[in-house]
Structure 1
Amino acid sequence: MKAIVIREPGGPEVLELREVPDPEVHDGEVLIKVAAAGVNRADTSQRKGQYPPPPGAPVYPGLECSGVIEAVGSGVENWKVGDEVCALLSGGGYAEKVAVSAGQLLPIPKGISLQDAASFPEVACTVWSTIFMTSHLSSGESVLIHGGTSGIGTFAIQIAKYIGAKVFTTAGSEEHLLECAKLGADVMINYKKEDFVVCVKNETNGKGFQGGNSGEFNLGPLLMKRLTVSGAGLRSRTTKNKAQIVAEVLANVWPAIEQGKVKPIIYKALPLEDAAEAHRLIEGDHMGKILLIP
């Protein structure tokens, strides 16, 4: 098969399309003929040598895909050859074929094309596991979504609004803020012109704060209000844990998609051989998801 190989750590130019061996299908896995693969910021970190795949995972980038099941390993009961699926991956999506645990498969949502479905697994599982399973966001509460125009951001705005939360979001242009508003954001903050910390505090009567990659905060409120600080990360989780997240996404997110309340926001779909260009786009100014088509 053909796959995108990272020649060496570096810029987008190190991504090369090569002939590589077909994946092996182990017990409990299926082989997918890839229709489309989602491009994520984590892929750019892997390209730079900062986010290596976990042991046993495919070395090729790509954390989500859609496609058609081509083979089924021993012990797989709920899926068969010919089923159209999308999948949360530990790697290997930038390829013509990928093997994945059956527990990380999702059916194609009704009303969504096979290609566009590739935009959902990684963002849906990241957002649901972090904001809902860990932080327990519920109706009537508020959530601040930084970078509302990213693949994660456009999805998070929609699903948070769907469950009844008040959505704050940031973006770097008035045009992007208008698009975030169309997705359901309630408070839009241009981080290039406004102090978003002040904006959030004003809107929450002084209760909101955020400070980038590092910062200081008072531990008093953390203790008094029994607050928690958590981080997101899917790739290194166990197969069992990923299957639990996928099951929750199927039960809670897929109905919102099928009702048209959460829609795929696709910025551009490019041929697999243009993976370098896809990485340039995702590291630049864009809105929504970028897909690669084998």
Structure 2
Amino acid sequence: MPGTKTNRIVTANPPGGPDALQVETRALLQPGPGEILIRAAACGVNRPDQIERMGFYPAPQGAPEGLGLEASGHVEALGEGVAGFAVGDAVCALVAGGGYSDYVIAPAGSVLPLPAGLDLVEAAGLPETVFTVWANVFEIGALLQGETILIHGGSSGIGTTAIQMAKAAGARVFTTAGSDEKCALCERLGADRAINYRDQDFEAVVTQAGGADLVLDMVGGSYVQKNINLARSGGRLVSIAFLQGSRVDLDLMRVMLKRLTLTGSTLRARPNAEKARLAAALRQTVWPWIEAGQLRPVIDTRFALADVQAAHERLDSGAHSGKILLIP
């Protein structure tokens, strides 16, 4: 690449806390067939990165080296067979690794054009969240207009995105968050009711309001039975994380009597073709929501790539609302 022979990446070897993160220099790789090399403008920081840093979420085979699952920037080079993009295009991309970098290699099917109305830095906060919400709320969860959804962790990157996407689709939205300030943010984003779980019983609040057709859960643990209790007949409970733990005791009688569906998914290890299909759906349905002003990433803080340890300290604190970004 003219003027550049190296690329910074972030590793955690051995794994541990934020101080395990190291910025290392590697040779700049070229995109292979079906891949795009992106000169990064910003990189998103996500909970799965935290889990990988701690040694519990290994990258899938063949993923680029280093942490990071999303980035935005300009197309620097195209691999063999890539069509629909040109050098210099402004894009954002979902990747299976290596997102915390100066240059990011992405499968072409997981690359999307910069939506009108967003700048490149903001767009780095889109891919991991919109892919996850679309796959779990709209495909697996099958949210319909007029239904009620309960979104846990409403002030997180996933939560702030899910609130806006569910409202754009015409749903009634309940959400939980851990402070009055975070609840106020959720309601500004469109939530019909934000519940401070530290001083309110979300199960009682949602049940009194008629229950939920769909629950998006990233907490697990004790929340699972409460989700079952508040779900309407025919409800769907979709798990995408488990901050309270993945092992739970359940009353399956309520699942049977209510005809509930308990399901969940991960995104990172899905085949490239599956991610490309999701990207096409996002471009058709979600990109118009962004361009109409119905969805915008909520950006909490920005850190230089060299300050990645501080970015993860912010992530670990739980004090953030929305996305944390790294700027190469």
TM over 0.5: yes
Q: Retained in 2: the 8 A contact 1:144–1:168?
A: yes
Name the counterpart of 1:290. Answer: 324
Letter matched to residue 210 of structure 1: N
**1:257 alignment partner in structure 2:** 290
Seen in structure 2, the aligned counterparts of structure 1 residues 147 and 205 have a Cα distance that, compared at 3 Å, is closer
Aligned-pair RMSD on alpha carbons? Answer: 1.7
- Counterpart residue number, 1:20: 26
Q: Identity across aligned pairs (percent)?
A: 45
Mapped partners of 1:100, 1:176: distance in 2: 33
Cα deviation, 1:185-236, whole Å, max 9, x if unaligned, reads 1121111111212222111259884286444444345445543222131101
Quick one: which amino acid aligns to residue 284 of structure 2?
Answer: A
Shift of 1:82: 1.1
Question: What residue number does 1:273 align with?
Answer: 306
Give the equivalent residue in structure 1 for 2:97. Answer: 91
> 8 Å contact 1:62–1:94 — kept in the other structure?
yes
Runs of 4+, deviation exceeding 6 Å: none
* Residues paired across the two proteins, number: 294
CA distance in 2, matches of 1:169, 1:180: 7
Q: Go from structure 1 to structure 2 and tell me whether the alpha carbon gap of 1:50 and 1:257 turns closer, same or farther (over 3 Å shift).
A: same
Cα separation, 2, equivalents of 1:173 and 1:220: 34
- Name the structure 1 match of 2:125: 119
Distance 2:177 2:38 in 1: 36
Aligned counterpart, 1:192: 198
The match for 1:74 is 80
Report what 1:62 is aligned to.
68
The structure with the greater share of residues assigned to strand is: 2
TM-score scaled to structure 2, two decimals?
A: 0.86
Contact 1:23 1:98 in 2 (8 A): no
Structure 2 gaps of 5+ residues are 1-6, 216-225, 229-243
Deviation of the 1:270 alpha carbon: 0.8
User: What are the superposed Cα offsets for residues 34-55 of structure 1, whole Å, 9 maximum, x if unpaired?
Assistant: 1100000000000000001000
Larger RCO, structures 1/2 (Cα 8 Å, 6+ apart): 1
Does the aligned pair in 2 maintain the 1:155–1:262 contact within 8 Å?
A: yes
Find the aligned partners of 1:183 and 1:97 in 2 and give their Cα distance.
33
1:126·1:232 contact (CA, 8 Å) conserved in 2?
Answer: no
Tell me if 1:157 matches 2:157.
no
For residues 92 and 71 of structure 1, do their structure 2 counterparts lie closer, same or farther at Cα, with a shift above 3 Å needed? same
Work out the CA distance in 1 between the residues paired with 2:181 and 2:51.
28
For residues 123-272 of structure 1, the aligned pairs below 5 Å read 123-204=129-210, 209-210=226-227, 213=245, 214-220=247-253, 222-223=255-256, 226-272=259-305
Gaps of at least 5 residues in structure 1 are none
One-letter identity of the residue aligned with 2:304: P
After TM superposition, the score normalised by the length of structure 1 is 0.95
Code of the aligned partner of 2:323: K
- Which digits, 9 at most, give the CA deviation of each residue in 1:83-118, with x for residues without a partner? 111001101010111111100000000010011101
- Is 1:2 the counterpart of 2:8? The answer is yes
Matched AA of 1:46: E
